[in-house]
């Protein structure tokens, strides 16, 4: 590949990526401080958990329609509209906070609106990348995109300090500024028309929703990949929802903040490694590796109530997140035709994340009603499993980590046994070897 074929596309991507990364920082700070405000104001875990529910469910329900929109309209404009409207939601919150009238229901509404806009944004962004970046660089680029998740996980440490200095209103101002930066970066990125809206894009949104599922069904290897990814997301949600209570069962909130930041560093370093490496040539091996290592590190979480152990196991586990996501996203971007990629990504988002809200609803009753009693000093498992991982407060959560880790290892073995999944890299590529070169065609504003 010639430098002229790759340089402009990579530079354009770098500009868009930088703007989006800064925007994610602001959004993550706001999400954390709003959660703190709700919990401190109500003292209710249920009302606090509803924020997470509002942040997940709209994206799942609307993802197929977001995919149809991404295939029908200019993907850069979709990102601009989503970013701008999310900024307006934050401005509205800022006005309400400044007037002293913020209510819990307004936080829920703002969270749901932002999640809806984010669904349209993420799908358009992911569908845009393979037409902007040469195929050989997709793994590295997708690795860099995973850094945003590390920023979101590490946000509590920074947000807590920022909240103490500038308050809720100051954090919202920071979020608005970062959103302006993201929109400006998008406006400055001059993208070829063939990049933002590939030829053959659908003009029928309803048919497009069905087309995404039909396309996946016609590629059994990819369908198996998404099924495995969906189970992995469920297990990941169980662990993610319980890691903070696990840490708080034997440590202080200050230690929790430090360990959350350490976990975020695992995603950050994983994204950097994938940005340099790009992942294995056969992407499915990245899936196997991520699953297997993830299972091992989840089991390590359960062995002792030690912040030092969690400080090693949590970043190591989260290091596997960019490996898994990069492998899966790159396979989809290279194997799915650009004109239908948005619709397929929308369906994939539903199939791979639909079980996550179920996980959030299950972990409370499972922990309090089953696992904790089993691991009490006089519990049914105290003399067996308890001899290995300990008994008492928080050891029921450790038991769940142990079980989830073992299930992830079993999922690894099952995934490796699927012939269609093993051969998914052999499906024909649907993208060219080089990204579009600059041309006199229409350029998106």
CATH code (residue 166): 1.20.1250.20
Whether the pLDDT of residue 299 is over 50: the answer is: yes
Instruction: Please give the structure tokens belonging to residue 133.
Output: 């970046």
Whether the pLDDT of residue 4 is over 60: the answer is: no
Q: Judge if 154 and 276 occupy the same domain.
A: no
Region 161-183 average pLDDT: 89
Q: Judge if 242 and 311 occupy the same domain.
A: yes
Q: Judge if 118 and 229 occupy the same domain.
A: no
Residue 110 lies in a domain: yes
Residue 314 lies in a domain: yes
Q: Judge if 209 and 233 occupy the same domain.
A: yes
Region 331-350 average pLDDT: 91
pLDDT band of 45, cuts 50, 70, 90:
low
Whether the pLDDT of residue 200 is over 80: the answer is: no
Q: Judge if 244 and 362 occupy the same domain.
A: yes
Contact 181, 51 (CB under 8 A): no
Residue 434 lies in a domain: no
Q: Judge if 415 and 336 occupy the same domain.
A: yes
If DSSP codes are grouped into helix, strand and coil, which group holds residue 444?
Answer: strand
How many folded domains does the chain comprise?
Answer: 2
- Determine the Cα angle at 133 with ends 132 and 135, to 5°: 130
Q: Judge if 295 and 404 occupy the same domain.
A: yes
pLDDT band of 75, cuts 50, 70, 90:
very high
Per-residue model confidence (pLDDT) at position 156 = 66
Residue 440 lies in a domain: no
Whether the pLDDT of residue 1 is over 50: the answer is: no
The helices-and-strands tally (H runs, E runs) of the chain is 18, 2
Per-residue model confidence (pLDDT) at position 252 = 82
Q: Which domain holds residue 344?
A: 205-429
Residue 38 lies in a domain: yes
Per-residue model confidence (pLDDT) at position 432 = 56
Residue 150 lies in a domain: yes
Question: How does pLDDT run across 133-150, given as a tens digit for each residue?
Answer: 888 888 988 888 888 776
Q: Judge if 190 and 214 occupy the same domain.
A: no
Q: Judge if 91 and 40 occupy the same domain.
A: yes
Whether the pLDDT of residue 248 is over 90: the answer is: no
Per-residue model confidence (pLDDT) at position 377 = 95
Closest CA to 153 of 265, 248, 241: 265
Question: How does pLDDT run across 373-430, given as a tens digit for each residue?
Answer: 999 999 999 999 999 999 998 999 999 999 999 999 999 999 999 999 999 999 998 8
Q: What percent of the chain has pLDDT over 90?
A: 51
Q: What average pLDDT does the structure give for the chain?
A: 86
Alpha helices in 278-355 (DSSP H): 283-301, 307-335, 341-353
This model's pTM is above 0.85: no
Buried b (16+ CB within 10 A) or exposed e, 20-32: bbbbbbbbbbbbb
pLDDT band of 59, cuts 50, 70, 90:
confident
Q: Judge if 152 and 267 occupy the same domain.
A: no
Q: Judge if 164 and 265 occupy the same domain.
A: no
Per-residue model confidence (pLDDT) at position 2 = 34
Residue 220 lies in a domain: yes
In angstroms, the CA 422 to CA 427 distance is: 11
Residue 438 lies in a domain: no
**Among 181, 198, 215, which residue terminates a domain?**
198
Higher pLDDT, 433 or 96: 96
Q: Judge if 292 and 253 occupy the same domain.
A: yes
């Amino acid at each position: 590949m010639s430098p002229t074929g790759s340089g402009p596309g990579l530079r354009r991507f770098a500009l868009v990526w930088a703007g989006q990364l800064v925007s994610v920082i602001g959004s993550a700070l706001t999400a954390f401080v709003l959660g703190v405000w709700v919990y401190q104001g109500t003292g209710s875990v249920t009302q606090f958990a509803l924020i997470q529910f509002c942040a997940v469910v709209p994206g799942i329900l609307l993802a197929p329609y977001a995919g149809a929109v991404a295939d029908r309209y200019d993907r850069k404009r979709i990102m601009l509209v989503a970013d701008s409207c999310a900024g307006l939601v934050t401005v509205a919150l800022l006005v309400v906070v400044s007037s002293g009238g913020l209510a819990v229901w307004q936080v829920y509404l703002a969270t749901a609106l932002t999640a809806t806009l984010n669904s349209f944004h993420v799908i358009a962004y992911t569908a845009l990348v393979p037409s902007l970046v040469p195929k050989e660089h997709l793994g590295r680029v997708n690795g860099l995109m995973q850094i945003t998740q590390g920023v979101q996980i590490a946000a509590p440490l920074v947000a807590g300090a920022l909240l103490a200095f500038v308050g809720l209103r100051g954090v919202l101002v920071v979020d608005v500024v970062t959103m302006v930066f993201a929109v400006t970066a998008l406006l400055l990125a001059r993208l070829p028309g063939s990049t933002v809206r590939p030829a053959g894009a659908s003009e029928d949104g309803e048919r497009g929703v069905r087309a995404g599922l039909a396309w996946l069904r016609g590629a059994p290897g990819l369908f198996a990949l998404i099924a495995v990814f969906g189970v992995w997301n469920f297990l990941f949600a169980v662990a993610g929802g319980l890691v903070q209570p696990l840490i708080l069962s034997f440590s202080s909130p200050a230690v929790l903040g430090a360990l959350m930041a350490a976990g975020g560093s695992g995603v950050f370093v994983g994204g950097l490694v994938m940005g340099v490496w790009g992942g294995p040539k056969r992407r499915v091996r990245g899936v196997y590796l991520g699953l297997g290592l993830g299972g091992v590190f989840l089991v390590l979480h359960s062995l002792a109530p030690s912040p030092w152990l969690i400080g090693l196991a949590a970043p190591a586990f989260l290091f596997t997140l960019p490996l898994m996501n990069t492998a899966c996203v790159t396979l989809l971007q290279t194997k799915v035709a650009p004109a239908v990629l948005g619709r397929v990504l929308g369906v994939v988002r539903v199939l791979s994340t639909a079980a996550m809200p179920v996980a959030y609803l299950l972990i409370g009753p499972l922990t309090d009603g089953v696992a904790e009693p089993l691991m009490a000093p006089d519990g049914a498992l105290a003399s067996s499993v308890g001899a290995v991982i300990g008994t008492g407060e928080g050891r029921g959560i450790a038991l769940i980590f142990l079980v989830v880790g073992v299930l992830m290892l079993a999922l690894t073995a099952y995934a490796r046994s699927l012939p269609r999944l093993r051969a998914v890299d052999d499906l024909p590529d649907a993208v060219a070897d080089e990204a579009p070169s600059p041309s006199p065609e229409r350029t998106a504003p």
